Amino acid sequence: MTGAHRVDENERAEEIVGAAELLFAAGVMAHSGHANLSARLDGGRLLLTPGFVRGLRPGDLATVGLDGRVLRGELRSVSAEIIAMHSTVYRARPDVGAIIHTHSPAATAFAVAHRPLPCRTEPMLRFGQAEEVPVVPWGPRGSDVSVRGIAGVLERRPTTAAALLANHGLLVFGPDSAATAHLVVAIEESAEAEIAAAAIGGAVDFPDGALEAVRASIARVAS
């Protein structure tokens, strides 16, 4: 492995740690703090959290192949089970650079209810989910049933950047760890808002052209 590749791996590790810290600081984690985060490396490899994320350090991460082999480091059984889940997304989406799975409470409520989460908050538009978050049918974590369900949703919904895993939790993917973490936060906030809005008459859809208007606003500020 060249020095350039080692630097890249170190950078990806630091980015994963930063994303985990962002999730805890934002208060979007379940009571257990359970999550798993990964980042794509070169040569069909990825960095994966070892089974815990609270107090995560760069050296804790394991390097694994898309085929499930652990190439460096160690994984607890709870993380080894989900390698296939992450690999399926990376294979289906060459543009994805990072994946985060959480049990964020409000988003998980939608997963438990088998209800897609509508896109009705502006942060979801801004952070890359300008459509409802679909539900993947339930299957035991890491099983062929679960993995096939994820692959099927990605095929049917080629532009979604997130999926709800029925009776389980949230799966989000993006270009890098920071962007993915910000989308997790936006989705959890949106799920909370949907649940709260139900008590006062229900949430209302965006008007037509909302995404284009947000993009135009961002472009004006950036120019």
Domains contained in the chain, CATH given: 3-222 (3.40.225.10)
pLDDT of residue 222: 66
Rg over alpha carbons for the chain, rounded to the nearest Å, is: 17
Other C-beta atoms closer than 10 Å to the C-beta of 10 total: 13
Helix axes 177-197, 3-26, angle to 10 degrees: 20
Please, where are the H alpha helices in 55-166? 77-80, 83-92, 105-113, 122-126, 144-156
Structure letter (DSSP) for residue 59: G
Q: Would the pTM of this model clear 0.85, i.e. be above it?
A: yes
pLDDT of residue 6: 53
pLDDT of residue 142: 78
pLDDT of residue 188: 98
pLDDT digits (tens, 9 = 90+) for 21-80: 999 999 999 999 999 999 999 889 999 999 889 999 999 999 999 988 999 998 887 777
Q: Which long-range contacts (CB under 8 A, 24 or more apart) does 65-74 make?
A: 66/90, 66/91, 71/45, 74/50
Q: Could you tell me which of 138, 135, 117 has the C-alpha nearest to residue 190? A: 117
Q: Which residues of the chain have pLDDT under 50?
A: 1-5, 7
pLDDT of residue 211: 82
